[in-house]
Amino acid sequence: MRRLHTIRVMPSLPEPIQRLRALAFDLHWSWNKDAIDLFSRLDPYHWREVGQNPIRQIAELPQEKLENAAKEDAFLNLLDKVTQDFNTYREESAWFQSANPEESDLKVAYFSAEFGIHECLPMYSGGLGILAGDHLKAASDLSIPLVGVGLFYRRGYFRQYLNADGWQQENYPRYNTFNLPITQVMGEDGEPVMFRMPIAGREVIIQIWIVKVGRIDLYLLDTGHADNHPDDRRITDILYGGDTEMRIRQEIVLGIGGMKALAELKIEPTVFHMNEGHSAFLSLERIRRRMDDHQLTFNEALEVTRVSHVFTTHTPVPAGIDRFSQELVNKYFKDFWPQLGLDYDRFMSLGGANPKDQTSPFNMATMAINLSAYVNGVSRLHGEVSRKMWRHKWPSLDLNEIPIDFVTNGVHAESWLSPEMVHVFDRYLGADWKDSSQDTEVWKHIAKISNEELWRAKERSRQRLVVFARERLASQLEQRGESRVTVERASDALDMETFTIGFARRFATYKRANLLFLDQERLLRLLTDPDRPVQLILAGKAHPKDEPGKNIIREIIHVARDAGVRDKIVFLENYDINVARHMVQGTDIWLNTPRVPMEASGTSGMKAVLNGTLHVSTFDGWWAEGYSPEIGWTIGHGEMYDEPEEQDQIESELLFDLLEKEIVPTFYDRPQGRVPRNWTDMMKSSLLRNCPFFNTNRMVREYTERAYLPNHRQWRKMVADDYAPAKKLSEWKEKVRQGWGGVRATNVQLESPEQLTVGGQVQVHSSVYLGKLKPDDVQVEIYMSRDIDDTLHQGYHPILMEAGDKQDDGSYHYHGSLDCHRSGAYSLSVRVLPRHELLRSPHDLQLISWEE
């Protein structure tokens, strides 16, 4: 066999433009419009051909074009401006430093299985990864001291294409690192930084790559080293690739390998954020390391590490959570749990598995919840759904008290705004609006925007979308082997003035991409109305193993081939960030149709409304918070149905009613044929209501203030004095667990005026037996709620009671008072909870004793 040697020839950048290389390797350019314009000017056509990838563009451009750019004054002036802006951005402090000058030692490690920063780095599959990418960008803008940790997938996620029958096919191209904005981490000796870790009996070599994202470093782990076993090289080959065993191997590399990588890089975070449960094994590695390095017991190391763990769950259904069989976990961790001082039963229980039942799976989300001090869902509604999913862990608590918070997702405005909307915002909000995206006062200037100017911005965005869709459609048809006539006809698809509906997301069946296709006759009438025509652009991938999802795509393609609507329905293949960017910017309506309550958040709709696109959705995810009648439409009001088919039929009819009677008429209501004033008024109302809240600056600030900083401060307490507080807390928890059986509250008595009126007071007394515990170990509360009817209560409100003297029978007398501020009927009870100054929550021990 012929032996081949590989060499890499770098382009020779003339001295005046050598700064381009540094700019290209920092993805800050991806949300800097001047930087994008700079690279585009080198060759606009080639810029589109290489997928807006500056690394590949510089590598492929003829030398003469680079030489010409180095002599062009306008190009050099823009290069100076972009370079100066970039240096200023990197050097100046931002929100975090000014708001938290005393917290300079905070360091957050943000772990995620995927990161969607830009389409030129295809390490993402969908919303989870794009959210992670937006999280890093916002952390950079706010100057949060944070690093990202993920995996470098040599073949990324699959590229989608459709065959002649409309059936989804998958292609996994291998990416050349030479063309990616990624650099291998090198040591002081000039050699690549790497380490070895055991995985199921073999030593696996892990390499580390770095991606610069403004002020943030993202580290990606790679098992593709040539000396690894072929099976091990495939671990980081494909995002979510392979079977369940490959998934656990990937998650071991991400979680445990990620911790080892940070150690190799001498990075010592104080807070660890797990974006979904894929990285939850990191918590075990942290415990093991603390035990080894500081001679702690498992329980002591657990207390130390748990306080600095943040876990965000993104799924509203149990089926969406990674679960592994006990047999598989045993295969990969049988040599690991002895290092933690645990036996099989205790280890499996960390993941909620029942060791006595081998069919009981090990749940990654359960482990993450058990080992984290702060847990959250990604919207207000998803927080409620998550508390219901996990209420079995806190059976004695009322639903609203289960310690799962929510931080509603947001989107990174500068990454998703159209150039037209940026121009409008700069003109009316001021050039500094990007730095004040959470300031409602800044956004109030939206009201001053001229309806005509806002409408023209949307029209130009729609026109760009139509041109983009035609080009993509022609390319798809050509690759599919369609005739020349069919390919050329793609230039007639869609219309630049027609009302355009956008639908783009993962084609899981619960997202119901086919809701508009359930009544094809009604859809045909809607699309072909001569006075008020409608067109539909769709995109999205089905999971490679999701046959029903693939079939929905196929059905849509078959409908789109009908001669009557051939130019009215376009399906864009290989949904990615570039397709999403064009669609959220250019469509008039963003359609979202999940079955309630199966949508955790749905950030694509946030991106759309940011661009003046109005939203119509079921009452789910973020729309349950964002909806108001003057800014969009809701399909139903969150009703639940026993039969999915019945729900689909009813909500399909509701959607058609909305389109036919409200949405389309409002769009085409144009006095004297001019601007649709009611529509543009809704656009402004939507921008005013949603932009200040549904952005990642607000989201990341909430994570910082509600999770990162509190966890960081608790971590500092725990590690003080050679871990004395952690040891003390661990010992105290064991004492409380052992003694809790003797805790009970009895003999509750109420004292109140004969006629209790608003403003009156009720005195509550109780005898509380503590057994071997002391009053300092507990908090006793009056737990009051307002009665709505015999079965419904709301407004739960705990009120602390004060401990009195110990009585002759061994109990303590507790006393508290209730101030009655509202009329109505109330219910109350007395309860006892553990209390310790180092507890993040009184519910940490999952112990509670209600009055007998």
The conformation of residue 276, written as its DSSP 8-state character, comes to S
Token pair 């999802």: residue: 549
Confidence (pLDDT) at 3: 66
> What gap in Å lies between CA 576 and CA 7, rounded to an integer?
31
- Angle at CA 536, nearest 5°, toward 634 and 127? 65
> What gap in Å lies between CA 753 and CA 760, rounded to an integer?
8
> What gap in Å lies between CA 276 and CA 819, rounded to an integer?
42
> What gap in Å lies between CA 556 and CA 570, rounded to an integer?
9
The Cα-based distances of 410 to 293, 314, 351, 429, 608 in angstroms read 39, 13, 30, 20, 12
Q: Say how many CA atoms lie within 13 Å of 56 toward its Cβ.
A: 16
> What gap in Å lies between CA 713 and CA 549, rounded to an integer?
46
The Cα-based distances of 415 to 34, 137, 469, 602, 657 in angstroms read 13, 9, 20, 17, 34
> What gap in Å lies between CA 454 and CA 448, rounded to an integer?
10
Confidence (pLDDT) at 22: 95
Confidence (pLDDT) at 432: 83
> What gap in Å lies between CA 443 and CA 686, rounded to an integer?
11
pTM for the complete prediction?
Answer: 0.95
> What gap in Å lies between CA 770 and CA 816, rounded to an integer?
18
Question: Residue 796 has which token pair?
Answer: 């739960």
Which stretches of the chain score pLDDT less than 50?
A: 792
Residue type, 686: S
Confidence (pLDDT) at 580: 97
Residue pair 638/624 in contact by the 8 Å Cβ criterion: yes
Q: Which helix (H) or strand (E) holds 658?
A: helix 644-658
Closest by CA to 437, choosing from 427, 429, 447, is 429
Please give the backbone phi and psi of residue 40, each rounded to the nearest 5 degrees, phi first. -65, -35
Q: Taking each helix axis from N to C terminus, what angle separates 326-333 and 244-252, rounded to the nearest 10 degrees?
A: 40
Question: Residue 823 has which token pair?
Answer: 């009329």
> What gap in Å lies between CA 538 and CA 522, rounded to an integer?
18
Helix, strand, or coil here: 198? strand
> What gap in Å lies between CA 617 and CA 609, rounded to an integer?
12
Confidence (pLDDT) at 493: 94
- Write the CB contacts of 199 (distance below 8 Å, at least 6 apart in sequence): 232, 235, 249, 252, 253, 332
Residue pair 760/753 in contact by the 8 Å Cβ criterion: yes
Helix, strand, or coil here: 165? coil
| Cross-strand partners of 374 | 310
Confidence (pLDDT) at 117: 98
